[in-house]
Amino acid sequence: MRYKYKYETNRYTMTNNTTDMNNITTDMNNITTETCCNDKPNKSSIPHRELSSHMIFSHIAIMIPCIWWIFGYNSGTHISHCVDKLMAVTLTASVMITITYHYYYECVFHTIEANALIINTLLLNMYMCYRGVQYVYIIFGLGILYILQVTIQKVEKDKCLASYEQYHPYIHYIAGIYVMYCVYLIQNTFIEDDSCVNNP
């Protein structure tokens, strides 16, 4: 009887431990659902950040120069005008992908978002060369990009989620400064072209 009671007690303890582990696993799944995405998310309520959150609102620093570029100054030929505005719309579309990426807790557009930014950065710098922006200014802009890349690596989501949520939005301000810098240089090339035409 003593051994039987010991066996029953151990079985009860093991059952309780299993129940506790299931509760812990359930709690961890709930945390994951609230902070990121599931493999099979509920279509009626996909986890997302609020539009008023700093992570989303900080994108306005990048959107402002994009909108300025779309509606900004251009006095070139018809083809020049179309190419210029096409570049502006392409950059804006890339920023919209980034906003969607962050809105859904970095659970959508995983590869697309990163590749779109790389391609658009290359196109932006190539276009500045095409517009005749001095190389020294382009190199200075690449310095801003280097600072941006180092900052991104410092606050990666995989390293520390709390740090990522707190500091990553400030990276968008650095990106906004870079885009504003590039758009200013591009806009200035059209003004310089007009000056040359008006003052031969």
Tokens of 152: 């991104």
CA-nearest of 139, 144, 151, 130 to 177 is 144
pLDDT reported for residue 33: 38
- Whether residue 49 is contained in a domain is answered as no
Same domain, 146 and 173: yes
pTM over 0.85: no
- Do residues 88 and 124 share a domain? yes
Residue type, position 47, single letter: P
Q: How far apart are CA 148 and CA 34, in angstroms?
A: 28
Distance CA 80, CA 160 (A): 46
Calpha distance 189→124 (Å, rounded): 14
Question: Do 24 and 77 have their domain in common?
Answer: no
* 142 in the same domain as 113: yes
Question: What is the pLDDT tens value at each position of the chain, 200 positions in all?
Answer: 444 444 444 444 444 444 444 443 444 344 443 445 554 445 557 899 999 999 999 999 999 999 999 998 887 788 989 999 999 999 999 999 999 999 999 988 888 998 999 999 999 999 999 999 999 999 999 999 999 999 998 888 877 888 899 999 999 999 999 999 999 999 999 887 666 655 65
3-state secondary structure 150-163: HHHHHCCCCCCHHH
28 and 121 housed in the same domain: no
Total number of domains constituting the chain: 2
47 assigned to some structural domain: no
Task: Give the residue numbers spanning the domain of 137.
Answer: 54-198
